[in-house]
A and B are shown apart, each in its own frame.
Chain A
Amino acid sequence: MENNWNQLIERYLNNEFSAEGKVAFENELAKNTDLQAELELHKLTVELLQRHSLRTLVKKSGKWYRLKKQLVVSAIALTGIILITAIVYLLAVKNDTSPENQPEQLEHSFVQQIEQHLVFANIPAQYFEFTGTSDVFLSETGVLLSLTEHSFLLNGNRYSGEAIIQWQEAQTPSDFAKAGLSTKSGDRLLETQGMFSLTAFTPDGKKLDLSDEGVYIQVPVDNVKEGMKLFKGVPQPNGDVDWQDPVELERLPKQKNMNDMDLYPSRYEPKLNELKWHTDKKKRDSLYLSFEGEIVSNIENPSDTITATANQQKTENRIYDKVRWAFHIEYLKNNEADIIATVTIDNGWYIGPIRQTIEGVLLPSTFRIIPTSYYKVVGEPIENNDLENLSNETAEYLIGIEKKAIFKQRIRILNTNKTTVSGTYSFQPFDIQKAFPPVERTFSITINAPNNQLTGEQLFKSNCATCHSPHTDGTAPKLKDVRYKWEEGGAKAGTIYEWVRNWEKAAYGDPYAMFVAKLKPVSMNKFPSLTNAQIDAIFDYVDCQQRFIPPSKVLAIWNSKFNKTNLATQDFEDRMKFIHETCDQQVLDVYVKNLSEPLWKLDEQVVGMGYTQFQEFATQRVGKIKINDAHQKNLDAFYNTTVKRLQNLGKKRVEEALRKEQKWDHHMQKEREKAFIRKGMRENENLSEEFGFNLKNVYRQLGITVGFRINGSTSVNRNGKGNGTAIVNIDKYVMEATIARQSTVITDPKTGKTAQITYKPVSAQIDDYKKYDKLFLYLFSKEMNSYQRLDVNNGILKYNLNGDMNYSAAIIGMSENGYFYHQIDKLSAVNLGTIALEEVSQQEFDQRINALNNSRINQPMSLKEELQWLFKEKANYKVQQQRRKEAAFRNTIRPTVFPCFTETKMTEAEVVDIEVFK
């Protein structure tokens, strides 16, 4: 009701009513006081809203106003590298009695008074009025002065009122001559870019001192000279000025609001824009973070859901309980360990081995550990189990393991931390009669670092880390993939181990080692006690070190809490692009962990780490945004907790997505198992029904009353063969004919009557069968309750139909694109030629096949579960397609987030890690 009123009122106010409508509304308005009140309220509200909007605009222009003030500073800062050569600080304070002058008007007498304080003689002074709030002034020669409310002191206390600024500049030799200025520092002659003097007075003529914060001055220069410094001018008794206390020059970083910063890797956003992905920053952050989640997450403990599904399977499906897997770990020498799977198999049940010598009927079992950066998988899984040859006439080449199987997989532990090993295993249970569909499951177990053994991480850190790092050349070359490089370079196998123990000796024995020895002037330490295995452990550890800037660290500083620090500056944003290119999080750490240092010092530190591209930044001499210590401590704490929180978040998200996928896959697997079992049961039922039908048929033809008990005295001839002497049951002949689906003639020698079971082939070819992922024939007999599902292989349908039965059939094809259907209401044993399926909706398919099933017989076997399964399969196509798309998308974006991933030789761990997410 109210909404209706709103609509009507708005239309009325906007004059959108027709003439009649308006009259009607006004009539209603005249008598309805509620509506009148509502109309008034509406008008008022709209007016208030407009007023409020206006406020938004006003506030915005206020922001603009302040921003522009800042921009003036920055714009000038940008015009070039700006240096200050000299500033004269006036330290002397004189307390003159001040005349009662108005501050705004610099009256002549006042000017005269303060002109007495001129520092540079014969150079005209410029005056600026400082209102007491932060402001910027530009002198005639383009020197920029920035003053804040904390710039001045009066008698040692902060002065925060208006002030008159007296400014003198001497930039040309003629100025120097006029003012009689020297360019000497002690006895040394200086080359000067200019001399400046700034004096401030209160409106009543008192001289002000500079506070610690002081004033900021930018001087434009044509070219930068290295080693320029700022000197303080001290007037000497003889009237000269001596320039003292040189200070390094700095440029203030250009502040920027964190919300306007862009800290993503440079190619990340352009790529997303190209793909027309969401522009929402939150979504982009989340995606960015998820790439870290991929790496950090070891798919640890997916066990929660797995055990849950495993439990469900227990009650629903006992077949897979016949085979039980258990895992434990055995620690070995050299940081190695075996993950051992012990499989207990119930009597009469078998599973396949991992490696099969001949391709058997049974699928091989699998046992695979997913590598992470914490450990490395060494070699293939080992099995040493007794194989039973179960081959017989029905099952050829059937080789299986019974009772107990053991599989081992060796790993090498790289880190000292406790971690979780996870992996997958799969098997296909078999019970002589029948093989069941294979299942794949996941497991995980916790491993500790082996005692008394040094891991690669420890060895690296204690022996090598002082000079070597995995990714950057420092004192010593980077170590990542060093074994691979030596091999490529043509070093003899094993030289590298010799090198580590005694590089000199190795250099004499191998030309490549000699070449390496000459690369660096510094000689390497010798480590005679390291064994080959220990050296391998070190290299394994190094090779597994991934090199990337963790998104969590970037997002943690990309926060308004870091406004007004070095990080919220245009200068840092420029550096961030380069930091991303280095892929070295230590570079990022340098900037983040030293907020109180000027940027140029940090730039130099990074150059020292081997990243010479930062030299250019270092020469810009960008200073720092001042922050006090308490503030910095807070930020540090905030940064650390945020990084952790984000890391966990990223990890959690990725794991959640993985769990969801696993859950779906398990669900699908279960559905398939159920469908498989249903098919078996249906075939059984079908066989017995058809057998019953055939038997009845034969009895009728032979003239035997149904229900007559067949005993040994009744013997019949089959297909005219048989000599009448063999005592055979009719049952057996009928059964054999039914199983083989072959026509059979049965003659009763006593009566001479013949009975016939006929099977005739129906055949068809499905048009364009490759289009379908699944192709089935559903066969509905009018004489049987159950229906049959036949696989149509390679698009060729061939089946023997019972000549005494009436059939209808539906051919169904399924693919990602939908359901395809063809219905045959009366199926007879002929060659149907080529059949083309037509696409139908799920609903139509459901309706038609159910109608077909229900029309054939009174109480047909229900299709419900079967169809549910098919629909699930269809849904699965979509899920899989979505996953492929997602993986492709991530594969496109990943190189933009981690530019170094593609450049380095991928270790095994990395390759698999990425595959896991496909």
Chain B
Amino acid sequence: MEIKTYNPQDVKKELTTLYKHFPEIKRLLRTFGCDRVTAEDIFQESLIIYIRKKSDADFEFQLEPIHFIKQTCKLLWFNLARKEQQQNISVSSIDLEDTPDKWMERELHYKQLETALTKIGNQCKQLLHLFYGLGWSMIEIARKMDFRSDKVAKAQKYRCIQKAKSLVQEAQLTVEPIQF
């Protein structure tokens, strides 16, 4: 298992700081013809990608975080726009010096697979979020979610992860890897 290299508290703090740049990025995206709702989606996606990339030990940031996010947003929007055949944006007008690498490709693939997880029930979602995302102990989870004991919570966790796995497996069969 990937050992998490980020601390949820730090991530929360950093996200709050980064979010302040949202109006700026939104304006940027809107100059490309992106609507407000999509702009926020793209911004959020790029935040996810940024945090993940940052916790990747092999990677060292060359850019200011906000520039990296700007680039990512552009890329994501471009990718989305192309997919929706909004071809009225001329490709050449976008600065493409940072062409998508393997890493980014994988992220986009993950993004697609990840949507499968929304089908998992609310309880499972919360449990898995607390355990894998925030790294809570089973005892804490049992208390928070009103399980009789941590044993029960643990059993439930195995059931949930099994469900998640089958959803992911199913998604793998239907989602095609993204081509740039």
Which residues does A use to contact B, with CB under 8 Å?
Answer: 2-3, 6-7, 10, 13-14, 41-62, 64-65, 131, 133
A54 touches B51 (CB 8 A): yes
A102 CB → nearest B CB, Å = 12
Measured between beta carbons, the chain B residues less than 8 angstroms from A13 are 1
Measured between beta carbons, the chain B residues less than 8 angstroms from A51 are 48, 52, 110-111, 114
Known: A53-B132, A54-B48. A45 touches B12 (CB 8 A): no
Measured between beta carbons, the chain A residues less than 8 angstroms from B134 are 53
Known: A41-B165, A54-B52, A56-B133. A46 touches B16 (CB 8 A): no
B169 CB → nearest A CB, Å = 6
Give CA–CA (A43, B110) in the complex, Å: 12
B114 touches A55 (CB 8 A): yes
Give CA–CA (A569, B52) in the complex, Å: 39
Using CB atoms, name the residue of chain A closest to B11.
A57
Known: A10-B1, A51-B114. A57 touches B12 (CB 8 A): yes
Known: A131-B23, A131-B26, A133-B23. 9 other contacts (CB 8 A): A43-B1, A43-B2, A46-B161, A48-B113, A54-B48, A54-B52, A56-B129, A61-B12, A62-B22
Q: Within the complex, which residue of A6, A46, A49, A62 is in contact with B162, where a contact is CB–CB below 8 Å?
A: A6
- Asked whether any CB of chain A lies closer than 8 Å to the CB of B4, the reply is yes
By secondary structure, the A interface counts as helix
B132 touches A49 (CB 8 A): yes
Give CA–CA (A61, B50) in the complex, Å: 15
B107 CB → nearest A CB, Å = 9
Give CA–CA (A46, B129) in the complex, Å: 10
B2 touches A47 (CB 8 A): yes
A6 touches B158 (CB 8 A): yes
- Asked whether any CB of chain A lies closer than 8 Å to the CB of B89, the reply is no
- Asked whether any CB of chain A lies closer than 8 Å to the CB of B34, the reply is no
B165 CB → nearest A CB, Å = 5
A49 touches B164 (CB 8 A): yes
Interface string of B105-146 (1 = CB under 8 A from A): 000001101100100000001001100111000000000000
Q: Within the complex, which residue of B47, B113, B133 is in contact with A53, where a contact is CB–CB below 8 Å?
A: B133
Interface string of B159-171 (1 = CB under 8 A from A): 1011011001100
Known: A61-B16, A62-B19. A55 touches B168 (CB 8 A): no
Give CA–CA (A56, B51) in the complex, Å: 13
B133 touches A54 (CB 8 A): yes
A128 CB → nearest B CB, Å = 13
B133 touches A57 (CB 8 A): yes
Give CA–CA (A48, B110) in the complex, Å: 7
Chain B stretch 17-43: residues in CB contact (< 8 A) with chain A: 19-20, 22-23, 26-27, 36, 40
Give CA–CA (A133, B24) in the complex, Å: 12
Q: Within the complex, which residue of A7, A49, A65 is in contact with B117, where a contact is CB–CB below 8 Å?
A: A49
B44 touches A62 (CB 8 A): yes
B40 touches A45 (CB 8 A): no
Give CA–CA (A361, B43) in the complex, Å: 88
Q: Lowest 9 A-B CB distances belong to which pairs?
A: A53-B133, A13-B1, A61-B15, A65-B19, A49-B132, A53-B129, A58-B44, A45-B165, A45-B168
Known: A45-B168, A53-B134. A64 touches B117 (CB 8 A): no
Give CA–CA (A50, B48) in the complex, Å: 10
B15 touches A47 (CB 8 A): no
- Asked whether any CB of chain A lies closer than 8 Å to the CB of B8, the reply is yes
Using CB atoms, name the residue of chain B closest to A55.
B48
A50 touches B2 (CB 8 A): yes
Using CB atoms, name the residue of chain A closest to B30.
A132
Most buried by B among A14, A51, A54: A54
Most buried by A among B52, B111, B165: B165
Known: A3-B158, A45-B161, A45-B168. A58 touches B129 (CB 8 A): no
Give CA–CA (A64, B111) in the complex, Å: 23
Q: Within the complex, which residue of B8, B36, B133 is in contact with A52, where a contact is CB–CB below 8 Å?
A: B133
Give CA–CA (A361, B51) in the complex, Å: 87
Measured between beta carbons, the chain B residues less than 8 angstroms from A62 are 19, 22, 40, 44
A47 touches B110 (CB 8 A): yes
Interface string of B39-66 (1 = CB under 8 A from A): 0100010011001100000000000000
Give CA–CA (A50, B4) in the complex, Å: 9
B21 CB → nearest A CB, Å = 10
A54 touches B11 (CB 8 A): yes
Q: What are some 7 contacts across the A-B interface (CB < 8 A)? A: A42-B165, A46-B1, A52-B125, A52-B133, A57-B11, A58-B47, A133-B26
Measured between beta carbons, the chain B residues less than 8 angstroms from A41 are 165, 168-169
Measured between beta carbons, the chain A residues less than 8 angstroms from B133 are 49-50, 52-54, 56-57
Measured between beta carbons, the chain B residues less than 8 angstroms from A52 are 114, 117, 125, 128-129, 133
A29 CB → nearest B CB, Å = 15
Most buried by B among A47, A49, A59, A62: A49
Give CA–CA (A3, B156) in the complex, Å: 11
Give CA–CA (A51, B117) in the complex, Å: 10
Most buried by B among A3, A56, A61, A133: A61
Using CB atoms, name the residue of chain B closest to A280.
B146
Give CA–CA (A10, B36) in the complex, Å: 41
Known: A48-B110, A50-B133, A131-B23. A55 touches B164 (CB 8 A): no
Give CA–CA (A60, B16) in the complex, Å: 9
Measured between beta carbons, the chain B residues less than 8 angstroms from A44 are 113, 168
Measured between beta carbons, the chain B residues less than 8 angstroms from A2 are 162
Known: A45-B165, A57-B11, A59-B44. A65 touches B16 (CB 8 A): yes
Measured between beta carbons, the chain B residues less than 8 angstroms from A54 are 11, 48, 51-52, 133
B168 CB → nearest A CB, Å = 5
Measured between beta carbons, the chain B residues less than 8 angstroms from A56 are 129, 133
Measured between beta carbons, the chain B residues less than 8 angstroms from A7 are 158
Measured between beta carbons, the chain B residues less than 8 angstroms from A131 are 23, 26-27
B162 CB → nearest A CB, Å = 6
Measured between beta carbons, the chain A residues less than 8 angstroms from B23 are 131, 133
Measured between beta carbons, the chain A residues less than 8 angstroms from B11 are 54, 57
A278 CB → nearest B CB, Å = 9
Using CB atoms, name the residue of chain B closest to A278.
B146
Measured between beta carbons, the chain A residues less than 8 angstroms from B2 are 43, 46-47, 50
Using CB atoms, name the residue of chain A closest to B134.
A53
Measured between beta carbons, the chain B residues less than 8 angstroms from A10 are 1
Using CB atoms, name the residue of chain A closest to B51.
A54
Give CA–CA (A48, B51) in the complex, Å: 14
Measured between beta carbons, the chain A residues less than 8 angstroms from B129 are 49, 52-53, 56
Using CB atoms, name the residue of chain B closest to A65.
B19
A50 touches B132 (CB 8 A): yes
Give CA–CA (A52, B117) in the complex, Å: 8
B52 touches A6 (CB 8 A): no
A14 touches B16 (CB 8 A): no
Q: Within the complex, which residue of B19, B36, B125 is in contact with A61, where a contact is CB–CB below 8 Å?
A: B19
A48 touches B22 (CB 8 A): no
Give CA–CA (A672, B1) in the complex, Å: 65
Measured between beta carbons, the chain B residues less than 8 angstroms from A65 are 16, 19-20, 22
Measured between beta carbons, the chain A residues less than 8 angstroms from B26 are 131, 133
B159 CB → nearest A CB, Å = 8
B158 CB → nearest A CB, Å = 5
Using CB atoms, name the residue of chain A closest to B169.
A41
A163 CB → nearest B CB, Å = 14
Most buried by B among A7, A42, A48: A48
A57 touches B1 (CB 8 A): no
Give CA–CA (A56, B26) in the complex, Å: 20
Give CA–CA (A45, B52) in the complex, Å: 15
Measured between beta carbons, the chain B residues less than 8 angstroms from A59 are 44
B100 CB → nearest A CB, Å = 18
Using CB atoms, name the residue of chain A closest to B154.
A7
Give CA–CA (A131, B22) in the complex, Å: 12
Measured between beta carbons, the chain A residues less than 8 angstroms from B47 are 58
B3 CB → nearest A CB, Å = 9
Using CB atoms, name the residue of chain B closest to A47.
B2
A35 CB → nearest B CB, Å = 13
Measured between beta carbons, the chain A residues less than 8 angstroms from B114 are 48, 51-52, 55
Measured between beta carbons, the chain B residues less than 8 angstroms from A58 are 15, 44, 47-48, 51
